[in-house]
C-alpha cells in the first residue's frame, strides 16, 4: 500500500481523571511541503494531537507514520521524540542565555563547527534575518524571535514541523509576511507543517488543508475554501468566519427551492448577499446598524421573522431604520 508522506491513523488519548477523551480516532494525511492547519477552540485536543505527533506522549491507540516509518512513542524509545519531527511551542522556547547562532545550532551540536556555522547562516538567510548570529534573544522583537524559532526547528532538517499557535504573538503585517515566508521555507526544506490555531483567519490564509476539531474529534476537513464555503454543520460554519445561520422555513419559497438538498437550516456568509432596492429582492428587511470594517461594512438587517443578518456592503453607508432588499447569491444547506 502506498502511504502518504504523513499518515495520522486513528489516534486516541484519554487522560486519567478526565470525563471525556482528549482525542478520539483522529485520522488525516498530508503530502510533503503541505501546510495543515488545525482549527479548534480551547480544549478541542489540538495540543494533545501535536504532542502525540511529536512522539512525546503515548497514545491509547493509533499511529503516526512519517515518510513510510512510524514515529515512536515514549514507550518505544529511551529519549522521547523523533529527530524527524520538530515542535515549536507557543513560547518559542529559545534559550535566553545563548546567542542566536548557538540557539539555532542547538539541534545540530554534534556536527563539526564549520558545518554548524554554514547551516546557521543558511537558515538565517532563509528566515530573512541574515547577520544576527551574535545577538541575544532579548534583543529581538516577537516576530524576529518567532523566525529564529523556525530556523532552530529546521536546523536538523526535520521532515515534519509542528507549530502551536504560530501567529498568536504577532500583529497583522508581521503575520502576513510570516505566512508567505513559511510557505517559501517549507518548500525549500521539503518539510510538512502541521499548525494549530483557534483563529480562523490564520488557518484559512495559510493552509493547504484545514481540519476543524471539537471535543477531540475532527468535524470536517478539506481545503480552506471547501470548509469555509461548504461547512457541514452550524459549528463548522461559525468556527470558520462570520456567518448567518437561518431556519430554512423563514426564507421565501423561491430561495428554499434553490437548495440542492433539503435542510432545516442554511448558512449565508455576509459576502453571499448584497443590499439592493426593496422591489428587486425576494428578501427584505430593516437596516439596524452598519459596522465599518475598512474595505467594507457589515450591515445588520432585521428580517420580518425577527432574525438579524449581517450583509457585506461596499457602497455608501446605509441609513439605519430604512427598508432594504437583500439579494441572496448563494446559500448552503447545513446538516445539523
Provide, rounded to whole angstroms, the least separation between the CB of residue 215 and ligand ADP: 9
In Å, how far from its chain's centre is CA 265?
26
C-alpha–C-alpha distance, residues 278 and 25, integer Å:
50
Q: What share of the chain is helix, strand, coil (3-state, %, to 5)?
A: 30, 30, 40
C-beta separation of 152 from 94 below 8 A: yes
Report if residue 40 touches ligand ADP, rule: CB under 6 A: yes
Of 24, 48, 197, 240, the one binding ligand ADP by CB under 6 A: 48
- 45 contacts ligand ADP (rule: CB under 6 A): yes
Closer Cβ to ligand ADP, 26 or 71, answer by number: 26
Biggest CA–CA distance in the chain, Å, is: 77
How many residues bind ligand ADP (CB under 6 A)? The answer is 11
Q: Which of 1, 2, 18, 253 binds ligand ADP (CB under 6 A)?
A: 18
User: Given the C-alpha cell 477552540, which residue does it identify?
Assistant: 41
Q: Do residues 243 and 236 make contact, with C-beta atoms less than 8 angstroms apart?
A: no
User: Out of 22, 193, 246, 331, which residue is the one contacting ligand ADP (CB under 6 A)?
Assistant: 22
Q: What is the DSSP string of 252-315?
A: -HHHHHT-SS--SEEEE-GGGEEEE-GGG-SEEEEEEEEEE-SSSEEEEEE-TTS-EEEEEE-S
When binding is defined by CB under 6 A, the residue of 26, 30, 44, 273 that contacts ligand ADP is 44
The answer to whether 42 contacts ligand ADP (rule: CB under 6 A) is: yes
Residues 6+ apart with CB under 8 A from 114: none
Q: Which stretch binds ligand ADP (CB under 6 A): 36-44, 59-67, 140-148, 227-235?
A: 36-44
CA angle 201, 205, 209 (to 5 degrees): 110
- Rank residues 5 and 28 by Cβ distance to ligand ADP and give the closer one: 28
Query: Of these, 47, 177, 248, 286, which contacts ligand ADP (CB under 6 A)?
Result: 47
Least CB distance to ligand ADP at residue 12 (A): 12
Q: Tell me the closest approach of the beta carbon of residue 43 to ligand ADP, in angstroms.
A: 4
Pairing of strands 85-88, 244-247: unpaired
Which of 6, 11, 30, 46 is the binder for ligand ADP (CB under 6 A)?
A: 46
Question: Comparing C-alpha atoms, which of 17, 27, 32 is closest to residue 52?
Answer: 27
Query: Is 43 a binder of ligand ADP (CB under 6 A)?
Result: yes
- Under the binding rule (CB under 6 A), the answer on residue 62 touching ligand ADP is no
Q: Which of residues 166-225 bind ligand ADP (CB under 6 A)?
A: none
The contact set with ligand ADP (CB under 6 A) reads 15, 18, 22, 40, 42-48
Amino acid at each position: 500500500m502506498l502511504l502518504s508522506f504523513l499518515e495520522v491513523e486513528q489516534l486516541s488519548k484519554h487522560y486519567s481523571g478526565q470525563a471525556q477523551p482528549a482525542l478520539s480516532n483522529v485520522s488525516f494525511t498530508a503530502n510533503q511541503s503541505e501546510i495543515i492547519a488545525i482549527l479548534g477552540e480551547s480544549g478541542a485536543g489540538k495540543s494533545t494531537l501535536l504532542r502525540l505527533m511529536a512522539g512525546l506522549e503515548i497514545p491509547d491507540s493509533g499511529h503516526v507514520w512519517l515518510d513510510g516509518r512510524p514515529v515512536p512513542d515514549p514507550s518505544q524509545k529511551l529519549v522521547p521524540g523523533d529527530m524527524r519531527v520538530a515542535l515549536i511551542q507557543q513560547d518559542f522556547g529559545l534559550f535566553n542565555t545563548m546567542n542566536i547562532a548557538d540557539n539555532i545550532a542547538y539541534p545540530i551540536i554534534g556536527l563539526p563547527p564549520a558545518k554548524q556555522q554554514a547551516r546557521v547562516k543558511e537558515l538565517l538567510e532563509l528566515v530573512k534575518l541574515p547577520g544576527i548570529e551574535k545577538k541575544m534573544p532579548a534583543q529581538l522583537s516577537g516576530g524576529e524571535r518567532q523566525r529564529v524559532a523556525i530556523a532552530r526547528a529546521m536546523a536538523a532538517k526535520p521532515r515534519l514541523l509542528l507549530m502551536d499557535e504560530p501567529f498568536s504573538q504577532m500583529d497583522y503585517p508581521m503575520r502576513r509576511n510570516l505566512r508567505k515566508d513559511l510557505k517559501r521555507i517549507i518548500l525549500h526544506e521539503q518539510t510538512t507543517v502541521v499548525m494549530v490555531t483557534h483563529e480562523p483567519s490564520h488557518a484559512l490564509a495559510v493552509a493547504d488543508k484545514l481540519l476543524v476539531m471539537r471535543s477531540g474529534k475532527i468535524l470536517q476537513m478539506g481545503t480552506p475554501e471547501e470548509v469555509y464555503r461548504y461547512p457541514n454543520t452550524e459549528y463548522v460554519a461559525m468556527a470558520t468566519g462570520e456567518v448567518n445561520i437561518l431556519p430554512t422555513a423563514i426564507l421565501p419559497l423561491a430561495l428554499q427551492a434553490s437548495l440542492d438538498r433539503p435542510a432545516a437550516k442554511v448558512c449565508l456568509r455576509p459576502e453571499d448577499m448584497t443590499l439592493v432596492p426593496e422591489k428587486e429582492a425576494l428578501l427584505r428587511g430593516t437596516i439596524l446598524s452598519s459596522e465599518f470594517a475598512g474595505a467594507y461594512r457589515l450591515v445588520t438587517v432585521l428580517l420580518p421573522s425577527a432574525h438579524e443578518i449581517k450583509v457585506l456592503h461596499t457602497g455608501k453607508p446605509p441609513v439605519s431604520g430604512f427598508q432594504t432588499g437583500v439579494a441572496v447569491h448563494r446559500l448552503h444547506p447545513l446538516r445539523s
